[in-house]
Structure formats: structure tokens, C-alpha cells
Amino acid sequence: LATGAPKGVALKGAGYPPIAEPDRAPSIARGKQVYEADCALCHGAHGRGTKLDSRHYAFPPLWGPDAYNWGAGMHELNVAAGFVHANMPLGQPDTLSVQQAWDVAAYIDSHERPQDPRFVGSVEETQMRYHRHDCLYGHKERGKILGAHPYPDPLAQH
């Protein structure tokens, strides 16, 4: 993707814009409603994305074994909320409120995904070392500790 791009220069549209703090704490329940209304059409009802064929996605998975891992920037709520607010729904940037962006980021990131590649053998220790920011890694959601599910590294499968 970066072929021909100048080195050391910030490219327009790169990165995730900062987003204001929401008026209320992010809510997974409210985020589920936003997801169902504004995201599921492209990313699927179960967040597994929409495939073009057996290897390529038209719309990427947002959780599950082929989603971004727990070490990716998008697992941080502020990063995901900023991206969502500035870019989603596709072709309709800035249509979700700041609160809706934070809520849907919380909902998306409350699901299991591949392990952080820096995993040190326990979720608790990995959380203490690498997840001291606003994220849900190591939190209990729907009866399971996030990050404890043994999804394989999707890159190791190819």
C-alpha cells in the first residue's frame, strides 16, 4: 500500500484522528444497537466481515479469528472510536455522534480476537505489561476473560 509514498512524511488520511471524550461512559449495550443499525450490513451480524472469496474480504471482520489482534491499535477504545467517527459508516463519515462512536467501539472491542503477539503466557501479566490504556483486554465480558481465548494467529494459518 505504501509503494511510492515518501518516507518520513505524514500522508493525508493516514492514522486515526483523535476524538473527544464521550459525555457518558462508553456502553457495550448502546454500542450493540449502533452496530446492528449502522455496521452489520457490511461487517456482518456476527462481526465476521464479508468475504469476496475464500481469502479476501470486501469488509473486514471486526472480531473473531480473522480480526485484528489484541496488540493492534484498534483494540484501544479511543483509537477505534476515532476511526469509526471519522470514517464509518462507509461513505458517511462523521454521521455517528461522538457518543455513538465510543459506544460501538466498546461493543466491537468487547469481543474475542487473536491474541496479542506480545503475549507472555498469562492474560494478567500481558495486561499489566502492554494494556495499561483504555481497552477491554483482560476484562470479563459475557462470562469470559477477553484475551484468554486461544484463537490462533491468523498469519500463521496462511
**pLDDT of res. 18:** 87
Residue 12 predicted with pLDDT over 90: no
Spatial separation of the C-alpha atoms in residues 92 and 107, rounded to whole Å:
20
Spatial separation of the C-alpha atoms in residues 18 and 116, rounded to whole Å:
23
59 beta partners: 50
| Cα angle 56-62-68, degrees, rounded to a multiple of 5 | 75
The predicted-structure confidence for 102-115, as pLDDT tens digits, reads as follows 999 999 999 999 99
Spatial separation of the C-alpha atoms in residues 77 and 127, rounded to whole Å:
15
**pLDDT of res. 97:** 97
The predicted-structure confidence for 78-95, as pLDDT tens digits, reads as follows 999 999 999 999 999 889
3-class DSSP state of 124? helix
Give, to the nearest 10 degrees, the angle between helix 98-108 and helix 28-38.
100
**Per-residue pLDDT band at 17 (split at 50, 70, 90):** confident
3-class DSSP state of 34? helix
The predicted-structure confidence for 30-78, as pLDDT tens digits, reads as follows 999 999 999 999 999 999 999 999 999 999 999 999 999 999 999 999 9
What are the DSSP E strand ranges found in the chain?
A: 50-51, 57-59, 140-141, 144-145
Backbone phi, psi, residue 149, to 5°: -70, 135
The position carrying cell 484501544 is 76
Residue 138 predicted with pLDDT over 90: yes
Spatial separation of the C-alpha atoms in residues 87 and 57, rounded to whole Å:
18
